[in-house]
């Protein structure tokens, strides 16, 4: 990892001396290799950098591995309830980060005993997901999505695959009913069977009714308790509104990071020669690519965040009560303190991509995300074995987001599959 030596976009501090010379987070060139960017930031500011969020709102970006581990491990000092932020009077009603920072009564913003209660329910509900069944479900979903573009020989994988698959997997995992079309058809078929009008075929309709009801009975017999039911039945006794809030957190948390994990892994497999020779013949495996992405191109680059409970010190900085800290997860993963020479392709899973401490991504979720992402990538490569990029690797562009690392688009080509 070499240092670009590039200067970062500084801004005058917003009145607070600690933020004089702070870096505008939104102004950073996130298309760069993030590790280089974070190294420059670390050289200029140390492990905890003063930054300005949208609208020049001051915050701290925690860049060091040890410092992120410390912040996430000390809830009594750095807590999740954003209502303690000392900047609320400066936040406009249409502030773009409000959806992530504005307090909601969900697991995300609860603390202490209440957080243990809510997170415990989610953990147990996710623990009940049968990983083999999830893998089978994901393979089916993947096959269906691939079939929708396999005949054309071209696809844009971000929209047609990487985003679509985890969303459907998460919704299915939570037991959401399928669309009502089948039910509407059943009602119409019943009418025809019982009271046929001219031109109707009551025998065919009756046969369809039989098929549908048989399917229903099979579905009911097979019905596996889902995440939603387990949350509702949990002895912690969450109210319906608490379950609604936490299910939204689960589905939202599952979708974006998993989609970008799939996309960033596909990009690595399709562009890095260590994985090359049409991907299936490459030297390194899909599992290694998935893990390398979590170290070097992790989906959740920066996570907002924690709020200081009282005045304290971190990385040589004075942090005031109510200050906002952004967890620099990507920066922490590439901290030269843990990679003194260069990144040698870590096999371990000691990265901070799922964060750490009380509020980390709840224990079974990374495993489930792994099943979803691995199945998505493997199924695609099995079904379309000569898959290649449809553009030069340099033409792939990263979305300029400070928070999520993912591509604008991932266009590919392959031999059309004729059915
Ligand atoms: C099935 C997929 C997933 C589910 C169901 C899920 C669920 C969740 C939930 C419920 C939380 C809130 C935890 C709390 O505040 O107590 C969370 C937090 C988080 N998740 Fe996940 N997640 C999934 C996939 C991922 C992936 C793929 C990544 C990144 C590679 C990720 C990274 C994170 C991070 C960084 C946090 C914030 C932790 C913190 O505040 O310290 N998650 N996740």
| pLDDT higher than 50, residue 1 | no
Which protein residue has the closest C-alpha to ligand 1 atom 24? 254
CA 405 to centroid of ligand 1, rounded, Å = 15
> Is the pLDDT confidence value at 254 over 90?
no
CB-ligand 1 contact for 293 (6 Å cutoff): no
Compute the distance between CA of residue 61 and CA of residue 67 in angstroms, rounded to an integer. 10
Q: For residue 181, what pLDDT is reported?
A: 67
pLDDT digits (tens, 9 = 90+) for 156-180: 999 999 998 998 888 888 887 544 5
Tokens of 161: 């695959």
Question: Looking at ligand 1, which residue's alpha carbon is closest to its atom 3?
Answer: 254
Would you say the CB of residue 192 lies under 6 angstroms from ligand 1?
no
- For the stretch 186-214, pLDDT in tens is 777 777 876 777 888 888 888 888 787 77
Is the CB–ligand 1 distance for residue 119 below 6 Å?
Answer: yes
Q: Please name which of 251, 254, 261, 250 lies closest in space to residue 162, comparing C-alpha atoms.
A: 261
- Model confidence at 6: pLDDT above 60: no
CB of 368 shorter than 6 A to ligand 1: yes
Q: Report how far ligand 1's centroid is from the alpha carbon of 185 (Å).
A: 39
Please tell me the number of Cα atoms within 13 Å of 171 on its side-chain side: 11
Average pLDDT, the chain: 87
Residue nearest to atom 19 of ligand 1 (CA): 361
Pocket test for ligand 1, best of 119, 365, 372 (most atoms within 8 A of CB): 365
Mean pLDDT of 391-407: 91
Task: Say if ligand 1 is within 6 A of residue 353 CB.
Answer: yes
Tell me what percent of the residues of the chain surpass a pLDDT of 90: 60
pLDDT digits (tens, 9 = 90+) for 79-102: 999 999 999 999 999 998 998 899
| C-beta 72 within 6 A of ligand 1 | yes
Task: Give the list of residues 6+ apart from residue 245 with CB closer than 8 angstroms, or none.
Answer: 104, 105, 106, 107
Ligand 1 mean position, distance from CA 359 (Å): 9
């Amino acid at each position: 990892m070499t240092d670009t030596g590039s200067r970062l976009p500084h801004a005058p501090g917003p009145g607070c001396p600690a933020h004089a010379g702070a870096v505008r987070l939104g102004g950073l060139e996130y298309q760069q290799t993030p590790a280089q960017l974070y190294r420059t930031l670390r050289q200029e500011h140390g492990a905890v950098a003063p930054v300005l969020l949208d609208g020049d709102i001051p915050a701290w970006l925690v860049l060091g591995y040890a410092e992120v581990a410390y912040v996430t491990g000390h809830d009594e000092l750095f807590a999740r309830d954003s209502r303690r932020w000392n900047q609320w009077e400066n936040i406009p009603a249409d502030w773009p980060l409000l959806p992530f920072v504005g307090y909601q009564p969900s697991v995300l913003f609860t603390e202490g005993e209440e957080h243990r209660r809510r997170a415990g329910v989610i953990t147990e509900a996710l623990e009940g997901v049968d990983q083999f069944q999830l893998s089978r479900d994901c393979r089916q979903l993947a096959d269906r999505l691939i079939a929708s573009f396999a005949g054309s020989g071209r696809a844009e994988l971000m929209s047609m695959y990487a985003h679509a698959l985890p969303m459907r997997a998460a919704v299915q995992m939570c037991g959401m009913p399928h669309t009502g079309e089948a039910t509407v058809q059943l009602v119409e078929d019943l009418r025809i069977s019982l009271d046929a009008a001219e031109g109707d075929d009551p025998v065919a309709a009756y046969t369809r009714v039989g098929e549908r009801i048989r399917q229903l009975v099979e579905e009911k017999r097979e019905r596996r308790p889902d995440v939603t039911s387990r949350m509702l039945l949990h002895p912690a006794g969450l109210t319906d509104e608490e379950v609604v809030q936490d299910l939204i957190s689960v589905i939202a948390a599952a979708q974006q990071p998993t989609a970008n994990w799939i996309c960033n892994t596909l990009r690595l497999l399709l562009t890095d020669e260590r994985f090359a020779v049409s991907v299936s013949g490459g030297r390194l495996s899909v599992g290694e690519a998935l893990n390398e992405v979590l170290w070097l191109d992790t989906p959740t680059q920066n996570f907002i965040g924690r709020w200081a409970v009282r005045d304290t010190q971190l990385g040589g900085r004075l942090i005031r009560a109510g200050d906002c800290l952004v967890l620099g997860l990507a920066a922490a993963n590439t901290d030269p303190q843990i990679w003194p020479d260069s990144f040698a392709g870590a096999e371990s899973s000691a990265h901070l991509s799922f964060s750490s401490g009380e509020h980390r991504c709840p224990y079974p979720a990374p495993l489930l995300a792994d099943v979803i992402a691995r199945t998505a990538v493997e199924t695609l490569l099995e079904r379309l074995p000569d898959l290649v990029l449809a553009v030069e690797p340099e033409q792939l562009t990263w979305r300029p987001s400070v928070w999520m690392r993912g591509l604008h688009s991932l266009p590919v080509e392959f031999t059309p599959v004729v059915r």
